[in-house]
Amino acid sequence: MTPRWIRLWATSGAMLLLLGCSHFAAGPPTSTPPKTTASAATKAGEAASPAGDSAAKTGAVATDRKEARLAPQGALAEKSPTQMTTSSTSATASSDSMDEECIIEEEDEEFQAGIANGKQPGLNRALYLCRLSQSYWQRGDLDKAIDTLDQAYALILDVDPASDPYLLQEKEDLRYTISRRILEIYSSRHVVINGKRNSIPLIINKHVQDEIDSFTTGRERDFFLDAYRRSGKYRPRMETALKEAGLPAELSWLPLIESGYKVTALSPARALGLWQFIPSTGYRYNLNRDKYIDERLDPEKSTRGAIEYMKELHEMFGDWATVLAGYNCGENRVLRTIQSQNINYLDNFWDLYERLPRETARYVPRFLATLHIINSPEKYGLNAVAVEPPLLFETVNVPRQAQLKSIAQATGIDDVLLRELNAELRQGILPEDGYELRVPPGTADLVLAKIDEIPAYRPARVVVVQHKVRKGDTLETLSKKYRSDAKTIMLANNMRRPEPLTVGKTVRVPLVEASSDERPAPAHAPTQAAKAPAHKPEPIEHVVRPGDSLWNIAKRYGTTTQEIERINRVTAANITLGQVLKIVPGATPLQVKAEPPKPRPAATYTVRKGDTLQSVAKSHNTTVERLLALNKMKPHATIQPGQKILVE
């Protein structure tokens, strides 16, 4: 619940309590009413005591004059004056008649007092009609209760407060209270006596018919049929959950117009999943998300969230059409529309229709059109459309982080089906602390048997290279040189749009090393590889990263530093971070157990005046990184004349 909603209900609840509303259809508890000075609401509160107590307190009976002047037209037509004057003392009179007569007696006293004090008689009369309407409502006569409130509303519209601020406040308080009371009476029509919500009324009007035509013969026919086919995967479980929660089963068709039953559907407003939750609303209903999981994508979890949300909306608005409008555009938007009514009060959704956003205004007719089509499959040709079978699964606990594609490869389960069953995994990667994986029925034991063969996931490593812009450099040339992309470079340098690079400026270029799986090599791999026919290896490209030297690159790819220098026309001293080297691999460790090339013997060098690490490395045909490693020096270390260091 939002704070704005709470304030609205607290305000309306306070006025309803003052008017003696001891029965609510589906609203929250009332709060303590604020103190006002001789307001109309205060007068109404005096009628909150039981009718029997009022009768005993006043000890008066209604007269013919009072009935003729105070009772609404037709309200007391069935009673004669004699019956009215004797009903409060008769032992056989009904309690309802006594309630009504006591209201009349109290109202007559207040009416006379109001005239004596110069108050508007219309307000007193409206107060009486409010109390009479409350009596009708408690007896279950909703039509008469609404008619009586209509009369009260018409009376207060004729009241002219002139420059009296107290009278103006009384008028507005009473007008707002009557509006809310009518909305509550309408709400009570949609709540069954046992407390469960009834089915959604299938209204047909021009707006609904237009949507039916669009779904069946118009441009949205293909969309509707495709969504109808997909509904078989998820709707049976949704229907079961809705019935268990006491909500209409027809709401299981709501995702058809929300997402077309596409789990990954994403709206321009960033609403995601079958039920189209935006992130903030998702958090309200425990649909969490992090780097690996977004529970808005989970059909079952999002269905539970939607049920909780619609329950709250139904308690707020009462009728399902207004609930659906609130679900689409938010309850605050609907409440603001209700509050904006300065003249007419709002009875139901169709009073709000033209005041809501166009998308929301169409939302309810589209849903009602869907129900009409679903309920008449032969009429609209749905009986020939085969729906997809439900998604069935069982769960198995995977205790470590892994990729879905690796699990599919190890077990033989279809990769696409595995992704569909575990739609909440945003990147197809299990969380670091393990996961309850959904797998097709009958495959849980297979996954457990293969659990040790599933390789652990190793996240990608990002290295950022500092590039000094030269003449002719552009985002495109940098992305080609470093095998990156322009968007990534722009993001790393806080660039909103592509723009020319300034010569001499340093640009950050992210280099992303692809994620991989750490898989132990099979023991028999060398034997199989040795039997493989010899072939000429294809050249590959290697991006120079921090710590790389020609020696360790050659060791990694089973080649020699001389071969790398020959192919790329470089020396060990002039390779740079981010540089792309072409390498022809030699025999890899999986093919033969080749010994790595032996490092050159280390020699001692005495630092001279003017020497730097860069100059020493260049003169000895090595790299600064190699010098630092040989001498166990820190990256920013300096050398002094006379210092002895190791060189190759």
What DSSP element (H or E) covers 22? none
C-alpha–C-alpha distance, residues 525 and 589, integer Å: 10
Burial 173-208 (b: 16+ CB within 10 A, else e): bbbbbbbbbbbbbbbbebbeeeeebeebeebeeebb
The secondary structure of 57-110 as a DSSP string is HH-----HHHHHHHSPTTTTTTS-HHHHHHTTT-TT--HHHHHHHHHHHHHHHH
- What sign does the dihedral 253-256-257-259 (CA atoms) show? positive
User: Which two structure tokens, joined as six digits, stand for 139?
Assistant: 């007896």
**Which residues are bridge partners to 581 per DSSP?**
542
Catalytic residue list:
258
The secondary structure of 449-498 as a DSSP string is HTGGGSPEEE--EEEEEEEE--TT--HHHHHHHTT--HHHHHHHTT-SS-
**Which residues are bridge partners to 436 per DSSP?**
397
C-alpha–C-alpha distance, residues 294 and 276, integer Å: 12
Instruction: Answer for the pair 346, 274: CB distance below 8 angstroms, yes or no.
Output: no
551: exposed, middle or buried (Cβ count in 10 Å: 0-12, 13-18, 19+) = buried
User: Which two structure tokens, joined as six digits, stand for 152?
Assistant: 């009260």
User: Which two structure tokens, joined as six digits, stand for 310?
Assistant: 């619609």
Q: Per 3-state DSSP, what percentage of the chain is helix, strand, and coil (rounded to 5)?
A: 50, 10, 40
User: Which two structure tokens, joined as six digits, stand for 460?
Assistant: 């990608």
Alpha-carbon radius of gyration of the chain: 39
> How many other CB atoms are there within 10 angstroms of residue 411's CB atom?
19
First to last CA, the chain: 72
Three-class secondary structure assignment of 201-262:
CCCCCHHHHHHHHHHHCCCCHHHHHHHHHHHHHHHHHHHHHHHHCCCCHHHHHHHHHHCCCC
User: Which two structure tokens, joined as six digits, stand for 46?
Assistant: 């005096």
308: exposed, middle or buried (Cβ count in 10 Å: 0-12, 13-18, 19+) = middle
Strands (E), 469-590: 506-513, 516-518, 540-543, 580-583
C-alpha–C-alpha distance, residues 62 and 106, integer Å: 10
C-alpha 381: how far from chain center: 34
Q: Compute φ and ψ for 316, nearest 5 degrees.
A: -80, -45
- What sign does the dihedral 487-489-490-491 (CA atoms) show? positive
**DSSP structural state of residue 397:** E
